Amino acid sequence: MFDATTLAYKRHWGGYGKLPTDDKQPPYDPSAAVQEQFGNPVHCIKIANDGLVYVCDRSQDRIQVFQKNGTFVREWFYEKNTRGDGAVFDLALWPDPKQTYLLNADGANNEIRVIKRDDGSVVGSFGHRGRNAGQFALLHVMAVDQKGNVYTGEVDGKRIQKFKLTSDALK
């Protein structure tokens, strides 16, 4: 973490808010005890308006949540049996004032998961593997605008898609 004004180094942390190491981590095994360190790569960091920091530990299928000072708050696992690239590629915060939802871009399973930010529960999802409109070929990144439209980028599909919000379900 760096100071936004001076760019002075402030602090850093790893999984569970512990001091990170450069030791090679064992391959992810969903049946083993959870790893204390982040896997490789940590793929996104998003900071909510309330100051909570969300980290995509992509290869370990989890999101870890921290306070800005590095204090561990909680974690959630998604599609825990996903190996390889993992199930948590990117996150976007919903644009309502409370940022009620997180959207989770899952590149391995090619879907977007809608997650309640207060408890991590999945309330919906959309998309699946494919190359047609509304499908994904290695979903990699996403963003949400103030109107709730979702924009996605794919690695294998080499395209950007826009999903238009057609309901007030998430407002």
Distance of CA 164 to the CA centre of its chain: 21
Question: What's the pLDDT at 171?
Answer: 56
Tell me the per-residue pLDDT of 114-162, one tens digit each, with 9 for 90 and over.
Answer: 999 999 999 999 999 999 999 999 999 999 999 999 999 999 989 999 9
Please report the domains of the chain, with CATH numbers, ordered by start residue: 40-163 (2.120.10.30)
**Over 60: is that where the pLDDT of 6 sits?**
yes
User: Do residues 86 and 72 touch, judged by C-beta distance below 8 A?
Assistant: no
Tell me the per-residue pLDDT of 16-74, one tens digit each, with 9 for 90 and over.
Answer: 999 998 888 889 999 999 999 998 778 999 999 999 999 999 999 999 999 999 999 99
Whole-model pTM: value is 0.93
**Over 90: is that where the pLDDT of 170 sits?**
no
- The residue behind tokens 């959309």 is 126
CA dist., res. 75 & res. 54, Å (int): 9
